[in-house]
Structure 1
């Protein structure tokens, strides 16, 4: 027994000694210094590399190469949205399952045998350098030697020399911000860049993309600026003390005050927003639809536009209009547009909000338009090209090919829809003494852009993705919204292009906003989809800040009680109003909190307007002096 006790004591001493050694840091680590994935069964090879730019900054890049790739084209996306995450959205040894999500389109990219390249832009996630929102091209706002175009050039130069499985041909594509970088790649393009597909791209942030629309600030974009601009890896997230963002922004008074309450003055882009509320040279010299025509279009490019894009419904069409004016550019220019929300073309798209489309329009676009377009330029075959313009016509739910889109300016194919007495619409001119229609716009009770509660984008139950297709009956029922309706159509009526509202109105204030919406009113009964009975589907809508009615660059007060003309350009439409439906126009003076409130009394900078500046105003719309110009066919029988 004594021997056993001695052995036990010895073992205890050794155990204590071992514990002491562990406590001193000598225990072996469970985690290897460099873990190697057992990827022998994978059908792709993943390479994470840091590609050097001309100024020494290195950009994190993920390259996914199919195992059987040989002489394959490369498809690149340059993004602020975390390349590593975009390349690891599935847990699988099969490449399509790893790339199922945003921008990756396995039915196009992996099915096409392409090498996938994903890169963090400067200052975001794994890349070095400093982030600048929509980094301006080298020039007045960028005195450095680098911009997104040089970073693209340097990346392609590295790829063609370091990816032996490729054929040396590169394409670039992306949605939204990634669409912006797909456009910047077209400035002084690398010879190996053979094709570009900017989808729903950011082009001009003041005229009609993310930040402003005709001078009205998109207040719901403040969380994006906060999340994207505060930290490299989006670790600082927007916070709110109200479920209903209508309440949050109403209590916050102005967009500037709300931003400052969250410390956003630390973010450079927010400071620029506050400093440049008008369309001054700061905005003009970085607008891509102004810059790219000067550069010229040297690379085959397909612009992709969503007809119900809730974020960037300006850029693709504006850039198309600017480029097609140049004969040299037209040979490299294509356009596709469909019944999608922002980025809807890369997903299943068989519905438009609640509207049934009876086919997957996203799949059609990817299979019949995008796939052959990419293959024609990135593969060594003679895949036929799609039509110059491929457009979906809602209402009749059909795809059609065009040689070009209608011009923004009205021509012999235009028809005019006139306001009528008794809240009517018609194709005949009203009498000169038809009078006016009035409403009171109260900044303390602005018109919500969706029924309350307004849940911000990215949050559960948010209607943000499909707000443009939400039923407009709640708005039509408000006393501060004019709803003008045609008689029931007896024949189909198709409109294509960018409608222009000539609105003549007077206000008792010295400033004001004017929102115009073109709406398809469904029959009271829809047998195949009863819930759509009487539905008011917005086909297009836009806002104009009254101070910019004459000049976007030089605002001026609105004279009180004096008729003024407010030209409101609506986004692109391609729609057929069917027999049994009616055409509606809604006019209002707030669209909140999608856009910040107009005080309706003139202040130098609405972004920082004080609470006492917000005052009710009576708006009087002149019936005879207001009409909508639209590209259309024969006037329908009413």
Structure 2
């Protein structure tokens, strides 16, 4: 039986590593410009033949003598791999200046070249990681390095610039609205005043120095629920005493179409794709939509047919990077909702995939493996498909209707397959930026506790008069919704610019309203990110927010619900409604907004229903 290192003490792990591994610490790997990156190499002890290699590259402080690092090394060695663990440029003992995504266009490529030249390497490298240890892999895959034999990107959406209908620029935006999570994340990660060791130190000296100084910055604690309200937004971190850095560079860009987004390490869909990949995603992650859109792109771009023919996706009902949690092996709960026993072993899938592509074991991960395996919530069961959305899915149009009083749960909003007639009155509400609708669950991550992701009950939110609520009749049979959920809204406002936010909710027989997903669109970008346009009072516009991506089976007795409002804070930056440069302003106006739904001005959603008769 294979050794399980999860319960080993730190001392036992150190002893096991000494017995099982040959370890080189703080190897300073040179890049093409002479900058050296701090790198650990772990190899099975006494193995002389060439080895397949797993490369993990990270901006985080994973390297200095940590139990988690040791477990990862022992797991790789147990499966017959060398593990190379590297800090990104400008992080800890790696030289140079840090840039978000770690210079993937050059540093990732140069590291693969270095590994392939080592006497212990068989010339085949697999990249692996979750979140920031995954995102840099995407642009690297577009370069198709000959040693890059396979990749396992997990929760990698912040590495995606534009793909298909998603133009989020590394999750900085949704529908042109900045997300607050990166402001918190950059405060912790970006450190323009970081301490640096003297240049030119040898590996042995650096390894000894790291024993008692790991260069981990200890920044002051921040009251984020208060600080996240700071105006102007672009001075939020400077208000804490921080020097200007990555945050200021990104927040001051001119929206999602700013050409500067093309100059960094983001992957855009005008690039090719050259690497077989096993994608891990989560329904309550920050960017499940772009992740699945990139999976589809990698399958169809055909710049490297073998790579496009070998793309596989696994989607769990967890939060960001949650598929690695042992809790998925027992009855799993997301937010307020029981998800059943997911019973999923991520590591088993990862090593089977690597065995196929790095060792040539064609039986380890056979061609008969379904391209998509996804967990359908509600039904609480695994399903599989040859594509995403699943084959056999078809759009179901449900109209948002009322008699003009859909405000809150107490209103008369309904969701129906019957199109509205003439004369239905619009639903109206006032959006005040000083009193935004509070975020409760949904997809998010990495925000210092501002938002807890997951399937939380929305009834508290739905009690507000500035939230429009549209609910179907109870279903009489199961309805699987799997794919991209699209909203089409007819709206007007007396403000020059405002936001429109949408949620999809599963309402149980007891009234519990579980969020499935949410989205938002800044009205100025309704036609184009390249040419934003203000609104004119009294004029009706069509707004099509970025799709919600999910799989949920609405069970008999359950109802489908859609919420519409103009804020979702603190997940998304508040629109101040002036039509100006929103992230540089301190003044605001209240927006009086309306959702129209009479004949000729229908507002509706399209649900991708699987197996609809």
1:318 corresponds to 2:293: yes
| CA displacement at 1:287 relative to structure 2 | 7.7
Distance 1:67 1:507, change over 3 A: same
2:351 to 371, 375, 378: 371
1:405 corresponds to 2:383: no
2:226 to 234, 240, 247: 247
The match for 2:6 is: none
1:537 corresponds to 2:514: yes
Distance 1:68 1:424, change over 3 A: farther
Distance 2:168 2:445 in 1: 23
In the TM superposition, 1:609-624 aligns within 5 A as 609-611=585-587, 614-624=588-598
TM-score by length of 1: 0.79
1:424 corresponds to 2:414: yes
* 8 A contact 1:338–1:361 mirrored in 2: no
Gaps of 5+ in 1: 1-36, 91-96, 136-146, 525-533
- Give 3-state SS (helix, strand or coil) of 1:54's partner: coil
Distance 1:275 1:40 in 2: 47
1:256 to 222, 234, 242: 234
Distance 1:285 1:323, change over 3 A: farther
More strand per residue: 2
1:521 to 502, 507, 512: 507
For residues 367-393 of structure 1, give each alpha carbon's deviation from its aligned partner in whole angstroms, at most 9, with x where no partner exists: 3x4332221112242223332222221
For residues 528-563 of structure 1, give each alpha carbon's deviation from its aligned partner in whole angstroms, at most 9, with x where no partner exists: xxxxxx322111111111111111122221111221
| CA displacement at 1:358 relative to structure 2 | 2.8
Runs of 4+ in 1 over 6 A off after TM superposition: 37-40
Distance 2:99 2:69 in 1: 29
In the TM superposition, 1:145-294 aligns within 5 A as 147-162=103-118, 164=120, 166-201=121-156, 202-204=158-160, 207=168, 209-231=170-192, 232=194, 233=215, 235=217, 237=219, 239-240=221-222, 242=223, 245-250=224-229, 252-264=230-242, 266-284=244-262, 288-291=266-269, 293-294=270-271
Distance 1:52 1:152 in 2: 12
1:126 corresponds to 2:98: no
- Give 3-state SS (helix, strand or coil) of 2:135's partner: helix
Distance 1:456 1:236, change over 3 A: farther
- Give 3-state SS (helix, strand or coil) of 2:85's partner: strand
The match for 1:140 is: none
| CA displacement at 1:267 relative to structure 2 | 0.6
Distance 1:42 1:351 in 2: 39
The match for 1:344 is: 322
| CA displacement at 1:176 relative to structure 2 | 1.6
The match for 2:584 is: 608
2:475 to 479, 489, 499: 489
1:75 corresponds to 2:54: yes
Distance 1:204 1:190, change over 3 A: closer
For residues 438-473 of structure 1, give each alpha carbon's deviation from its aligned partner in whole angstroms, at most 9, with x where no partner exists: 21111111111139xxx99575xx374x42422211
The match for 1:12 is: none
Distance 1:505 1:620 in 2: 6
Distance 1:229 1:247, change over 3 A: closer
The match for 1:583 is: 560
Distance 1:319 1:308, change over 3 A: same
Distance 1:467 1:45, change over 3 A: same
Distance 1:595 1:41, change over 3 A: closer
| CA displacement at 1:303 relative to structure 2 | 2.5
For residues 564-597 of structure 1, give each alpha carbon's deviation from its aligned partner in whole angstroms, at most 9, with x where no partner exists: 1110122321111111111110111111122111
The count of corresponding residues between Structure 1 and Structure 2 is 547
The match for 1:8 is: none
Distance 1:287 1:417, change over 3 A: farther
* 8 A contact 1:149–1:187 mirrored in 2: no
- Give 3-state SS (helix, strand or coil) of 2:453's partner: helix
- Give 3-state SS (helix, strand or coil) of 1:340's partner: strand
Structure showing greater radius of gyration is: 1
1:115 corresponds to 2:70: no
Distance 2:73 2:342 in 1: 14
1:569 corresponds to 2:546: yes
The match for 1:631 is: 608
* 8 A contact 2:500–2:567 mirrored in 1: yes
In the TM superposition, 1:468-507 aligns within 5 A as 468-507=454-493
- Give 3-state SS (helix, strand or coil) of 1:315's partner: helix
Distance 1:168 1:253 in 2: 52
Distance 2:539 2:552 in 1: 36
Gaps of 5+ in 2: 1-13, 162-166, 195-214, 403-411
* 8 A contact 2:185–2:447 mirrored in 1: no
Distance 1:395 1:336 in 2: 18
Distance 1:208 1:499 in 2: 21
Distance 1:492 1:208 in 2: 37
1:555 to 523, 532, 540: 532
In the TM superposition, 1:326-337 aligns within 5 A as 326-327=301-302, 328=305, 330-337=308-315
